[in-house]
Every structure is written in C-alpha cells, then in structure tokens.
C-alpha cells in the first residue's frame, strides 16, 4: 500500500463509488497510477464494473481549477487536509483586505507548492503564513513579514525557508516585482480608519505626489505613506486623523512622519502642511499654488 504523502501513514480505504483510495488519517486522495479506475455501473452479479479513466467521476481532473481538487465546483469534495490548509490561508489573508482574485492566487500557489513537495512537515500555520506573504509580494503589495506572522505567531525561520522555496519554484520572480503604491497606501489607511471617503482623498493626494516624486531624486522612507495621510488631512481640511493618530495607529515615530512630510513639501516649495489647506489636489506642486 502506498504511503500518504501528507501524513506518512499507509492506512487508506478504497471508495468504490468514487473510485479513489482515501487516507484514513488525513483524508488525502491517494493517486497510485497515472490513470485511476472509474466506476461506470454495476454488473448483473452486483459487482462494480471498472474501466480506464476517461474523465468520469473519480478521475484526475486537469485544466483550470484542478489545483483545488474540485470536480463539481463544490468545496465539500476537497480532501480534508487541503481544506484545512486553505482555511488557514484564508485566516491569514483576511487581515489584509484581499480581493477574490488574490484568494484564488493563494489557493493556486498552495496547491502547486504542495504537489511539488515543498511543504514537507511544516505546519499549516507555517505554510499559510509563507504562502500569503509570497502572494502579497508577488502582486506588488508586500506586507512586512512580522505583520503576516501576527495571526499564528509562527517561527520566522520556518516561514522564510518556505518563502525561499516558493521563490525558487517561481524562478525568483518576486525579486523583480515593483511595489503597488496604491495598495501600500490603502494598507496604512485601513489601520487608521474605515472611512472610504478618506481613503479616496488619500489616493488622490498619492497620485499627485507619485507624479512629483517620479520626476525627482526623492527616496521614499518608511513613513512615506503615513506622510501622505497627514498631508491629506490638511489638504481636505479635516479635523482627523491627526499626525499623532497616524503615528500611533501606523506604529511610526511622530518625528519621523514630520521629517518625511517636510522632505515631500520641499519638492513643491512648501515648508508647512498648513500651506496646502484647501488647495486643489491636481494643482499641488504647480507654481504659485
């Protein structure tokens, strides 16, 4: 009997109706041959009649969506160990306001890595943290690893080891992925407030300053996006969030936000955020504005 690749046991049962060997310990579907047998019907003597796999029930499905082990679009048929692993990924991902397309990508990364034997004996928590961290960085939306690890409090060394393996699997493509400024800003704003109007205002200010920064030698600091939030508060003459609020909620030193803001203002010939109050965002940086 073939050992289960997931838990290492040789304790499995053959499901006559599904035509599959299923691990009794973790629920993984064991594939022993390239072509699985498929149950087509019952003979006169009541015995199952089998034939080679031709894509019927119990076959190994290929093509789009096959990475989910999903035959009918129902999650209930996903093996228990896979379901648990993807659930862990969902828990980690939920902290970063993910899109449906990102959820799909996380699922696919997990399954491709799983099939390549990358995970070994790493826990579900280690795997989920590494996969989500990788997926976010791949999309140009990197989140600090310590933030991604916060959900399960996993060991950084184990997570980094999995990330290195994932990066190797995908030929180091995340090394060349540019960061998406809009996502980075949204990540900071969501730590401050859930006000969607404020987020939109911040994005408008960001778009303006990104254009200005791209035409200069300015180097973005860690507080860059926090500074954009502070500038937005002033441009739109809002009472909050204050610089102190932003500092506390984004975990940045208030003095560092002040210094980064001062450097940004220098690019447009200003010395104080008060000089931008009530100004047209699209004209910030223009002469006499």
Domain ranges of the chain: 1-60, 80-176, 181-283
- What is the phi/psi pair of residue 155, to 5°? -80, 120
CATH topology of domain 181-283: Cyclin A; domain 1 (1.10.472)
**The domain defined by 80-176 carries CATH number 1.10.472.10:** yes
DSSP letters for 124-186: HHHHHHHHHHHHHHHTT----HHHHTTTTT--HHHHHHHHHHHHHHTTTGGGGPPP-HHHHHH
Distance CA 232, CA 282 (A): 13
pLDDT of residue 195: 95
Whether 68 shows a pLDDT value over 70: the answer reads no
Could you read off the pLDDT of 201-232 as tens digits, one per residue? 999 999 999 999 999 999 999 999 999 999 99
**12 falls in which pLDDT band (50, 70, 90)?**
confident
Other C-beta atoms lying within 10 Å of the C-beta of residue 81: 20
Q: Taking the model in full, what pTM does it have?
A: 0.56
In the 8-state DSSP scheme, what is residue 9?
-
Distance CA 9, CA 2 (A): 9
CATH code for residues 1-60: 2.20.25
pLDDT of residue 140: 86
Q: How large is the average pLDDT for residues 127-141?
A: 94
Whether 251 shows a pLDDT value over 50: the answer reads yes
Other C-beta atoms lying within 10 Å of the C-beta of residue 140: 15
pLDDT of residue 52: 43
**pLDDT, the chain, mean:** 82
Q: What is the SS3 assignment for 51?
A: strand
Would 1-60 and 80-176 be classified into the same CATH topology?
no
Q: How large is the average pLDDT for residues 59-86?
A: 59
Whether 49 shows a pLDDT value over 60: the answer reads no
CA distances (Å), origin 85, targets 16, 21, 109: 27, 20, 12
Whether 289 shows a pLDDT value over 50: the answer reads yes
In the chain, the percentage of residues whose pLDDT exceeds 70 is 75
Residue closest to 115 by CA, chosen among 151, 68, 160, 153: 68
pLDDT of residue 40: 39
Q: How large is the average pLDDT for residues 37-42?
A: 40
In the 8-state DSSP scheme, what is residue 274?
G
């Amino acid at each position: 009997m073939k050992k289960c690749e997931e838990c290492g046991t040789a304790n499995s049962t053959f499901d006559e109706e599904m035509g599959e060997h299923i691990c009794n310990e973790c629920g993984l579907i064991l594939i022993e041959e390239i072509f699985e047998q498929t149950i087509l019907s019952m003979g006169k003597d009541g015995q199952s009649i089998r034939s080679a796999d031709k894509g019927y029930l119990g076959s190994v499905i290929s093509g789009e969506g096959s990475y989910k082990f999903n035959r009918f679009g129902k999650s209930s048929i996903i093996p228990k160990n896979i379901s648990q692993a993807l659930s862990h990924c969902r828990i980690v991902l939920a902290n970063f306001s993910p899109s449906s397309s990102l959820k799909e990508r996380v699922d696919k990364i997990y399954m491709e890595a799983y099939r390549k034997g990358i995970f070994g004996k790493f826990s579900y928590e280690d795997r989920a943290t590494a996969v989500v961290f990788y997926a976010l960085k791949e999309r140009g939306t990197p989140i600090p690893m310590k933030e991604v690890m916060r959900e399960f409090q996993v060991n950084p060394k184990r997570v980094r080891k999995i990330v290195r393996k994932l990066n190797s699997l995908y030929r180091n493509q995340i090394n060349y992925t540019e960061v998406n400024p809009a996502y980075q800003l949204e990540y900071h704003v969501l730590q401050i407030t859930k006000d969607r109007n404020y987020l939109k205002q911040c994005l408008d200010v960001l778009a303006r300053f990104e254009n200005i920064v791209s035409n200069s030698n300015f180097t973005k600091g860690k507080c860059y996006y926090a500074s954009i939030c502070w500038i937005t508060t002033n441009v739109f003459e809002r009472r909050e969030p204050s610089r102190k609020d932003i500092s506390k909620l984004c975990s940045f030193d208030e003095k560092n936000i002040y210094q980064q803001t001062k450097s940004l203002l220098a690019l447009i010939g200003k010395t104080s955020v008060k000089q931008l109050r009530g100004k047209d965002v699209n004209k910030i940086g223009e002469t006499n504005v």
